Structure 1
């Protein structure tokens, strides 16, 4: 693949997680406005996050299986359309319904969550298909950075849209879906040889074999990704309320303040992707360091409450997230062969969604008891994930099971070089990508 074409492909792929993250992050700065407009409790308004994330987490394994069987693009593009239609439904409900507005919006959010199931996790699997060896680590770092960039942009964007009306964010979703869906359709030619032709029983048996041999590493990685996003979204949920009550910030100023920790996450994700491209053996310890940094930051906030320390601590938590997630993405996508990668990455995406879903209500529930309890208990959760990662993640387990049938990404690239074949992502620039 020529560098310009590679850049265009990565841009299209990066648009998928960026759009997906708008589904929750863009609403966080307008949650207080929605709460006031619809006369909701704090718990009820948090359902706008939870009822997007839980359906996504439940449907993701199905989307992963379908992508392994029929192709990634055939899942991603319809999923993006469903995602956009859910936003339209929520906006129209707020605009035209006079009663049962909130239940209708929750129903639309469920539809959006179902669409989201086929977006970022499948894009991650497709990235793993298209890029091999060190290029995979770099590309997945860019994908995670795009996810983080969405989290940086979305609070400001959500706050700006909130100046129009509290439901304007819902109507914005389809506007960003269309160009990304077209980019995926027109720019990417996925390798057709990666499709899995096994029946469902054989397929599930092969997935079980992967988990049987690598259960400790995979389950620990799943836990680390879920905990990292639970803490990030819990902190952002708390920060949204805290900025209004403690500093009387609202609108764009509040959006910019919310973007600070996520900006650190985004920058760190990109740098981490470049670093592990050259030093794959560092991945395990970057995961441990990232989770430990999150634990330390939250624990400090349990002791001290000064304004400057608060923003330093939440920024360091963003750095910790940026260290953790790109490494886990590479570990997960490299744990199995391409024909089973869709389901494994989708299961990982599902537990990430569960973390996002649980973060706001968990922080809200613990805050009801006391702020120190909220910070100390969540710091303990991060410390536990760091300890398990230190003990159970083994980077050598990235070599897929099955001997000669399944090899490491680097091994596949080497064998391709010996046989004169190009890796999956390197095809002739003279050949036009098919829809």
Structure 2
């Protein structure tokens, strides 16, 4: 690709994960108000996040296959439109219906279906358009834009909620339709070869997991755990700020953005620096999980809000080290023909992590503060051990040779290694 065309495409693609994360993150500061206005329980409130993410997680594998068969843009653009329509349904229900809760959830499920074809397919599109060091940098930008959406979301959500709490739902279609147009005209996707039949495709996918499943499957669950803890912590912090410290509005949004800011900056720097060096990638992942585990243990011993925010920010920095590494490993694990399915399966598992975060944190919060964070520390530590012992792409127990592992060569043998 020409540099100018590549820059235009990168800007367009970078907006996709921003829009996607608005679907959950922008609602987080609004949830306590929604709970009060509609007379909901804590668990019912958490379902507005959970059902969105579950719908996305279930649909993602299908759209991954379709994107490999028909092209990335032909999935991303209609998905953005569906995403926007779901927002309109939820917004109109909250505005016009007296008993609006079920209708809001229906709109959220439709939004989740649309979200399935956004960021996960954007990751595969990055792999199609870029290679080598440019690819790792682009994936770092994607993860950073994902995080930037998370930073802006609580601030934007809190600001829009000053109009009325359900106004956030009407923000989605405006953003989704605008980004859909930008992607359609700003990304020049290469013409795809004729796709495989479903049986051929599933056979190739099965072979991928046979060859690489030893480290690929644990990688999926590491990513899911990172997002599970992140969204659970945001749910916890939002409730703590409003119920215990009576902090709401824009100030609350800014506070919620602080841990996410740490993650975004870290993810961007990590994506730009690690390139395709697999030994370095593995060390960075282990470091990130160690920081996250230490953060969760530390938070359990404190209830002062400033210490909690600072320690949760440290944990988010650990997540920022982790996620770009996983993006590079998973995107580079397969040839372009199967990349949409693999990145979509990864995206599906990530969405499931997000889905279960709020309701499980809601249950743990009823027990105690220490229970919440000791549980998360234990989970993070288990994932750390799993990463250390199982995620070893490139070793003789994996899919390449030790020589390729030490040199940091890409997984794709037929592609030229970056210089």
Normalising by structure 2, what TM-score? Answer: 0.94
Alpha-carbon offset, residue 305 of structure 1: 2.5
Deviates more, 1:340-349 or 1:269-278: 269-278
Q: In structure 1, which of residues 240, 260, 263 is the aligned counterpart of residue 261 of structure 2?
A: 263
Aligned twin of 1:316: 314
Q: Does 1:20 align with 2:11?
A: no
Alpha-carbon distance change, 205 to 138 in structure 1, aligned in 2, over 3 angstroms: same
Equivalent pairs counted in the alignment come to 410
Is 1:141–2:143 an aligned residue pair? no
1:1-400 to 2 correspondence within 5 Å?
1-99=1-99, 101-193=100-192, 195=193, 197-277=195-275, 279-396=277-394
Offset of residue 18 of structure 1: 0.5
Distance 1:344 1:187, change over 3 A: same
Q: Is the 8 A contact 2:295 2:314 kept in 1?
A: yes
Deviation at 1:238, TM superposition (A): 0.3
Q: Cα distance, 1:182 vs. partner?
A: 1.3
Work out whether residues 154 and 257 of structure 2, in 8 Å CA contact, stay in contact via their aligned partners in 1: yes
Distance 1:76 1:201 in 2: 24
3-state SS of the aligned residue for 1:197?
A: coil
Q: Kindly indicate whether the alpha-carbon contact (under 8 Å) linking 1:52 and 1:109 is maintained by their aligned counterparts in 2.
A: yes
- The DSSP-based 3-state class of the residue aligned with 1:192 is coil
Distance in 1 (alpha carbons) for counterparts of 2:417 and 2:152: 42
Give the deviation of 1:287 after TM superposition.
Answer: 1.3
How far the C-alpha of 1:11 sits from its partner, in A, is: 0.9
Q: Distance in 2 between matches of 1:391 and 1:409?
A: 19
Cα separation, partners in 2 of 1:415 and 1:249, compared to 1, 3 Å: closer
Distance 2:182 2:278 in 1: 30
Say if 1:36 and 1:340 are closer, same or farther in 2 by CA, change over 3 A: same
Higher mean C-alpha deviation, range 273-282 or range 138-147: 273-282
Report Cα offsets for 1:2-37 as digits up to 9, x if no partner: 433322211110111110000000000000111111
For 1:90 and 1:169, locate their aligned partners in 2 and report how far apart those are by CA, in whole Å: 10
> What is the CA–CA distance in structure 1 between the aligned matches of 2:14 and 2:285, rounded to whole Å?
22
Q: CA deviation at 1:248?
A: 1.6
Which ranges in structure 1 are unaligned for 5 or more consecutive residues?
402-406, 418-435
Counterpart Cα distance in 1 of 2:317 and 2:249? 25
Q: Distance in 2 between matches of 1:198 and 1:251?
A: 51
Give the conservation status (yes or no) of the 8 Å contact 2:333–2:412.
Answer: no
Answer whether contact 2:211 2:399 (CA < 8 A) is retained.
no
Q: Give the direction of change, closer, same or farther, for the CA distance of 1:278–1:69 in structure 2 (3 Å limit).
A: closer
Q: Are 1:196 and 1:339, in contact at CA under 8 Å, matched by a contact in 2?
A: no
Q: Is the 8 A contact 1:83 1:114 kept in 2?
A: yes
Which of 414, 417, 424 matches 2:416? 414
1:33, 1:154 → 2: CA distance? 16
1:254-311 Cα shifts (integer Å, max 9, x gaps): 0000000000001001000111127443111111111221111011111232333212
Task: Tell me the distance in 2 between the aligned counterparts of 1:125 and 1:410.
Answer: 14
- Gap change, CA 1:279 and 1:88, over 3 Å in 2: same
Instruction: Judge conservation of contact 1:281–1:395 (CA < 8 Å) in 2.
Output: no
The CA distance in 2 between the partners of 1:312 and 1:132, in whole Å, is 37
Give per-residue Cα distances to partners, 1:52-85, cap 9 Å, x unaligned.
0001000000000000111111100000000000
Which blocks of at least 5 consecutive residues in structure 2 are unaligned? 402-408
CA distance in 2, matches of 1:200, 1:412: 24
The answer to whether the 8 A contact 1:57-1:353 is kept is yes
8 Å Cα contact 1:132/1:409 also seen in 2: no
Cα deviation per residue 1:104-162 (whole Å; 9 max; x = unaligned)?
00000000000000000000000011111111111000000000000000000000011
Q: CA deviation at 1:184?
A: 1.2
User: How far does residue 369 in structure 1 lie from its aligned partner after superposition?
Assistant: 1.3
Which shows bigger deviation, 40-49 or 386-395? 386-395
Which moves more between the two structures, 159-168 or 171-180? 171-180
User: Take 1:68 and 1:414, find their aligned partners in 2: how far apart are those partners?
Assistant: 22
Indicate the SS of the match to 1:369.
coil
> Normalized against structure 1, the TM-score is what?
0.91
* Partner Cα separation in structure 2 for residue 286 and residue 364 of structure 1: 31
RMSD: 1.9
Contact residue 335 and residue 400 of structure 1 kept, 8 A:
no
